Structure 1
Amino acid sequence: MRLSPDGGRTFPRYRGGRLFERQLQDRLPSQPATIPTCDPETGMSRLLAADFDVHKAQALHAPDPHSLVAAQAADFAALIARCGGRAILDGSPSGGRHVYVLWQRPLPHAELNHLALALARRYSTCDPGPMSSPFGQIRPPGAPHKTHRGRLTGWMHLLIPLDQALQAVNHPCGAQTWNRLMQELEAELAATAPIIRTGPGLPEDLLDCSLDDSGVPWLPQSGGRRPIRRHLEQIAVHGTWRRHSYPSASHARQAIVNSAAAAGWRLEDLVEAMATRRWPWLARAYAKYSPTQQHLRLHTEWQKALAGIAEYRSERNGHTREKPSTRGGAPPSAPSMLITRWPRPLQSKAFSQQPDSYEAYQRIRIWLNAVIIAENDPQRRKRWGRRLLSVRKVLRALGAAAQMGGGLEPHFGVRSLSLMTGLGWSCVARVLQLLREEPAADRLIDLTREHHGTQADHYTLTIPAPYRHEALWRRWRAGNIEIIHPGLWDLAAGAAFVYQALLPSVETTTREVIRLAGIGSTAGHRALQELAAHGLADKGAHGWRRGTVTLDDVAERTGTTARRQQWMELYREQRRQWHEVLTSRQAAAQAHRNEPCGQRPIELLLQDGPPGHHGDPASLAGQPPAPPAEFTSALQLLRRELGAVILRTVQQWTPTRATAAQTDGHQPILGSDEKGPAP
């Protein structure tokens, strides 16, 4: 901690040859003190400190600066709670507020500074100063505030119960909280990030466009989603409007969609408003179409709304422009909206658009984005068919294996992947075959080397060309790629993905859980019911959250722990047997190479006839004088194409059933290397 030499105005490390930095002690300091917000040596921190300052509120001429500061600090703390995390809130005698968010892992200071700048853009009283430098300082709860005329003005005091503060310290926020917070602050983060252009000839002020978790574009707005225009909301509810404003129902319907898109709504928000009967007329306006046409019509008009807004905003500074169409239907040709901003660069150097310029772990993140896009691609889902869930499990296992190896080539065989997915090794092999036999432009994995000896097939994670731009555009998901825990092996289809979508302390609506899991409605409800039956999910007043029962307990109760152990022992024995086969083959090959007369030209061998019967005419009675022509042709073909060598060895030669009963000779075997499946 640092002590202030001037009553709390500044907190230098050195001044006048004196060191004002001290070790933390059990007792409170007697003068104003601060703690660092970051480790300057590593540039990493587990603390995000948001400082809501009364002076900034006064500079805005707010009628009640203290109330404004308190309201914005409380709003940010509520935002952290909605994202699934916990925050610590304290106050100063002057009316200021601090909100502290602790993270499970140290994060780069550049990312935390970027986040602080985004918060300052959303909250007018938020000062990003404590996070603006790796040497930043902030007064913690319990620290003396300031001294005035030799007297202490007070202390920083907690504004939440002590047990809640201890819970926040003992259970810091994880990757899911970080990801949700990034999505909530999408617009603010984009406004402070460097721009990467991805299309030729794009206007300077062309609209930014982001993607939600389902891959659908939307337009995030500073401050979050806003209500649509009042008269349009009345139309969405009652279906009445002035004909001179909207000449037809399709015009009115498109106007509602346009307003929702411009106000920062996602397409799923619009669907929810119709499904919950908040907008009954709009729901009826789409209900006249078949379910398939409804889906197509809604997505078409949503994309048209985004394109129209982009065209309008990109041309608003021009001298002339055409009025954008407001009628429903197919969107007109519009300028590309593919201008993206990297929301949080992980390094100081600028990134290029090619995945090859990233570090290995970053390229794995981009590949995972491509996997998520593929899982929501209707054509690919149809191609995968009933193996969809198995394919998703295997792909995540490959991603986890790549993370373990630190590269894009996971060196895991089908049996190792089996233990990571809960699928049998033969099922994993069929899924890998399905993935590697997809069209070359759509492959998520490429077979770079087939199995040989003890080495399994080698695959490389690849990003399909149709998904490349969108995969680069999306945010990277933090944390390790999750594999399927044995406790979820025997539960309903999709239960593993539903469980991963649940949060431990924040309730999520059923609809949102199913959307995040990426499965159908029926399967999602069945999975939630089964998870609840095992204590892995609890339903509260506002939705679902993770239960208190651990996955290890469920695995023990359902017997999957024992099954996994049996599989491990079986696979270990299969590997041992395979290694013995390889060793015996190598020994036999070496023995044949050591025999001086072990090889004969193929022409002489064919003239000799079956080996072991020379000089015994009786044994050759009733046999043809030479092997069949097909056998001879096959041997010659193998020698010419594969370089085979004939060895006189111990295996029985049975060219036909008739001759097999009359001979006890030996079959020539090929001296070329044989390959079998690697465990």
Structure 2
Amino acid sequence: MAARPTMRLWTAEEGFEHAYALTRKVPERPAAVPLYNRGRSRLLALDLDAKKLGPEAVARDAQRILCWVKDCDGSAVVDQSTSGGAHILIPLQRAATVDELRPLLYALAARCPTLDPTPMLNDVTGCITVPGSVCREGGIRVLKGSVAQAEQAFTRRSGLEFVGALSALLGAEQPSAVASSTRLAPSPTLSEAFEGEDMATVVLRPAYRRHSPIPAVVEQFARTGAMASDGRWPSRSEARQSVLAHAVWRGATLADIQQLMADQWADGLGAAYVRYGTRAQRALHRDWQAAQRWVAAQLSTFHADTHKTKHTGGRGDWPLHERWLAHAIWWCDLTLRAHPQRWKVAAVLQGLAVSAARAGEVVNGVAAVAVGGRSLSIASGLMSESTVWAVLRLLRDMPGSPVLLVAKGSGLTADRYALTEPDVLDPAPGGSGRPAGVDVHPAWAVIGYQHRRIFETITEAGLHSVREISVAARTSLSSTYDSVAELARFGLVSRVHGCVNVGPTTLDDVAEQYRLDEERAQRIAAYRVDRQGWRAWLGGRRDPGPDRPVASPPSTPIVQVLSADDELAYQMSVMATGPPELEYSISLGLERTVARGRRASPGITVCSA
């Protein structure tokens, strides 16, 4: 459940204010785990509160939501507190951002009055208490159903299209322009998502279509006009929009809908437009276009599997750079063994080696590279730019470092570094278990750079004992146990009777689950725009153009130097009167309150010559 290996413990004074490391032992206080990692979540957690409307209202809303989840072929886990509140936990196969979930959360809250969407609307500190945790009122949160069923739900997870399907079922509003602009991947335009010549024949492209049947409740309204009894649609307007959205998503055209409204759907969807009279066709066209825009807005998030990228590593034949990288990592392990930035320094060193190898610049047997912090952040596994710059400052200022700044960047030219031998060398730089000259996988930005060495030791050295892994990876035994536990939480490794093996999940799977390819593409596009703006700004100052006046340099005043006779005459006139007399004064402010209502004594000035 936890998006990160931390938890927040509740106190009566501060609530869930402070974060602690996640433990295997159940805390004695209410414990909540974070919902978001890097601004996205793989768990749709719905908090139903019984404080205002009571346990009966919570039970009704929970039953209603579970029915909707089932209609969308989703999986859910439910727990209940001693106060009557409940949590509905819906695991997702692919992570979603808060901007993508916000319209759905608002639609659910409008239909279920006990739902508090606040935890899911906070992608920084949003958290949810877990089944088995202590309740604030006493007792523990009770899991509804068996542990095996809960494990199956978190293993199966709700499909890639679940959030979009649930939004369509409820007739949720289209995301706002601001929310759409902050998506990890931009939504396709209507011309990219649809094909056809005119409004009557425009249809969703086959790559984006859903093939499951329209939900029974939606089909019932389309045929008979009967509203759902669970209150999923506040009015017939949302019901109509839900029918049209499902039809668009399944490859129907406007001509198909008009034919159905004249035949099978005459008593349902057809009758819903009778109230518009002569403007019925205009209203249908308006709703149909709105449904097309809504479906197009969902495609970037829930059909990104069509653009899945496999990270092959791209390893090249770079013996000089790999030898330097082996020395640099050895130096990092010994010099920064207890430093909090050790693993991020190792990632930046690997990014420098790969960038230098691709640039191919070698001077007197020493590799050199001119690279900016933003480009280096991509090669270092989607590390933040500020962290990369902090690591580079650390490497530049540390004696014996394998990185030497040889030229400061200016204008469009980046800082230039020489990859030199550190003061501590690897005794066997060509031995097994040495780092490869490949980009750092972006999945480590989610998993944690501190766990990368352990995973690479397990996969490349084939070790299975935690103690052997600790020795080979040059990490402490406790840190190795922590890394193995975190890797197992992601499914990258498995533990059976103390033996550690490679798990069923790959790094590419983690990157796909958290949509890191989309984040990488978004970051590269943003860097490109910033670079173009910077280039334009520099060009405007180097070449002001014909319409911009060129400022003339300020004129330097000319100082007339006195001749020798004039200088002597000036000195004689100054010395003729002698030095000035020394005068000084001391001011003492004396304030005495003699009696109530009398004025304070005035200041006394003493002068001395």
Bucket of the pairwise TM-score, normalised by the shorter protein: 0.3 to 0.5
TM norm structure 2: 0.35
TM norm structure 1: 0.32
